Amino acid sequence: MAGDESIDIRIGTVDQAAIAARLQIDFGDEFGDPSPPFEVLERRFRALIADPAAFVLFVGDPADPIAYAVVTLRPTVYCDGPLAVLDELYVIPDLRGGGIGTRLLQRAIQEVRARGGGEMHINVDEIDVDARRFYERHGFVNVEPGKDYRMLCYLREL
């Protein structure tokens, strides 16, 4: 499937919120990151998918996808269109390395451009060397052009 140019990637619908929630929990479990309960995630995905400033992409069988991506968009002063954040990109472990993630990322970028987006951000854990290498291979950088220091992301739960 990974080498197949006709790989099926589609924008998720609200009725697929439970599928997104399940994939999110699988993603968290793989990396030892706690996830909110399924019911909470399903409710959040339902709202996110219904919001025109966000979208979820699924790869493969709509009832049992093999990968997904979550993208949110927001207004910004740094470009004319919205700034996109790739919140999640997940391919089930057994299918990694075959191009599915690349095709999913390309499709996410295509959708952001179609929505007028001017920039995409991705937050990656410093220790996640594989993810960093993947995004760098696709042109993402953690150093702004013309600078010689890394960008950092700070967060605070509210």
Does residue 127 lie in a domain region? yes
Which residue segment(s) compose the domain that 16 sits in?
A: 9-137
Percent of the chain residues topping a pLDDT of 70: 96
Closest to 85 (Cα-Cα) out of 2, 155, 33: 155
Does residue 154 lie in a domain region? no
* CATH number of the domain encompassing residue 76: 3.40.630.30
How far is the C-alpha of 111 from the C-alpha of 131, rounded, in Å?
21
Percent of the chain residues topping a pLDDT of 90: 80
How many structural domains comprise the chain?
A: 1
Global pTM value: 0.91
Does residue 107 lie in a domain region? yes
Note whether 59 and 35 are within 8 A (CB): no
Does residue 155 lie in a domain region? no
48-72 pLDDT tens trace: 999 999 999 999 998 999 999 999 9
